[in-house]
Chain A
């Protein structure tokens, strides 16, 4: 073999190698792009599914009749509907209760309106430290100043919308009076009842009775026919399904 042909073949070999390397790099880049694209699509699908399956319901139509009981608990049910019973144990100051209300509150309203469940609200106070304890007591006491079920529910919703942080004094008398009026409470008795915190004792008595009787682990506790629903309560579709199954 002459020197020249050897050089030529070496050059050709180097060129071929370069070409192969280039192709390989191109393939690698292509694979990378496709991989990232596939992962992005899967990520979007997972996120969409997560949001869709946990979407909150909208309140459709009128609420079922709401009545305030003598002990301060509140019943929302269509006439004659006595089962299944959904008990909601909540503290107006507890952030998880606000989260529950935002997530699943509308589902309970709809189920009651559809005549599929009797929903009972029990407002209690679980906090023992300040400022959360006093915030909770003021709000709960004010709710007991209402006499009309539909006003109570409107007030209940406003309270969660205006929930203060756990480190700040909130639910001030002025706020509570204002929300009460917005909810339809017109009587002058309401203002003095709220400002005088007249129902604190009755509320505390009810609250401690509930806590000791049920040994609640925390709020919110949602019970379906006496069984705690745990995490299910925070997934509207699962909550609805559980209640409908209990009705069968």
Chain B
């Protein structure tokens, strides 16, 4: 009974906050996943260019450049799809967050070294034409925003419309909320 008394107001508060928060997670998933899918899809058709874009950063040794160049577009698409459908939401968001942090580091380093390249984020070979200027600040701002999206999702997965919930992969906390407490209190 004590449980009930103290449980009610708490669950009442949760009810007003939790749906809004889980919708924020859903929106973050769609934004982050959408960007990843687009970025991957624009690159995967021409992996040779993707390799070239990675090389333009002059950060990785040659064998690694090839692996990242070929692998990154596929990884982006798969993680993006997982986020959009909300499957294995937390691990997917962790990978996406690590990717975004890597991009932030890469672009910052290029900027600091005074290289003039196109980030190659959405396809292209990472080269700038004559008279084109790099947009490092804009790219950093965008990727930083996406890092925030990823952290939110990691903290509050999986959000509304998630396969994780449908498949029962969402974790064990939610099914045992108020209903169970009341059911057990008959005696």
Contact = CB atoms under 8 A, between A and B. Distances in A.
B168 A43 contact: no
A43 B130 CA distance: 38
Interface string B156-187: 00000000000111000000000000000000
A27 to B, nearest CB: 7
Given A46-B77, A46-B78, A35 B70 contact: no
Contacts, number: 77
Q: Which of B48, B51, B58, B168 has the most CB of A within 10 A?
A: B48
A54 B119 CA distance: 22
Contacts of A104: 48
Interface stretch (A66-74, A92-100, A131-139, A188-196): A92-100
Contact of B168 (A31, A96, A103, A235): A31
A103 B74 contact: no
A102 B62 CA distance: 14
A50 B51 contact: no
A47 B52 contact: no
A218 B124 CA distance: 12
Given A24-B168, A96-B127, A231 B46 contact: yes
B45 interface: yes
B48 A235 contact: yes
A234 B70 contact: no
A8 B48 CA distance: 70
Nearest to A99: B52
A50 B78 contact: no
Interface of B, helix, strand, loop or mixed by DSSP: helix
A47 B70 contact: yes
Interface string B66-85: 00001101110110001000
B77 A231 contact: no
Nearest to A29: B169
Contact of A234 (B48, B87, B168): B48
B125 interface: yes
Contact of A50 (B52, B73, B82, B130): B73
Interface in A57-115: 95-96, 99-100, 102-104
B74 A43 contact: yes
Q: Which of A27, A43, A51 has the most CB of B within 10 A?
A: A43
B45 A53 contact: yes
B88 A231 contact: no
B44 interface: yes
A231 B78 contact: no
A241 B73 CA distance: 23
A39 interface: yes
A235 B45 CA distance: 7
Given A39-B82, A42-B78, A99-B48, A218 B70 contact: no
B170 to A, nearest CB: 10
B157 to A, nearest CB: 14
B68 to A, nearest CB: 13
Interface string B45-61: 11111011001101000
B129 A47 contact: no
Given A43-B75, A50-B73, 11 more contacts: A27-B168, A35-B87, A39-B82, A39-B88, A46-B74, A50-B44, A51-B70, A54-B46, A95-B56, A104-B48, A234-B125
Interface of B: 44-49, 51-52, 55-56, 58, 70-71, 73-75, 77-78, 82, 87-88, 123-125, 127-130, 167-169
9 contacts: A35-B88, A47-B71, A54-B48, A96-B52, A96-B127, A102-B48, A231-B45, A231-B46, A234-B46
8 closest A-B pairs by CB: A217-B129, A103-B48, A234-B48, A234-B46, A46-B74, A99-B52, A234-B49, A231-B46
Interface of A: 24, 27-28, 31-32, 35-36, 39, 42-43, 46-47, 50-51, 53-54, 95-96, 99-100, 102-104, 166, 217-218, 231, 234-235, 238
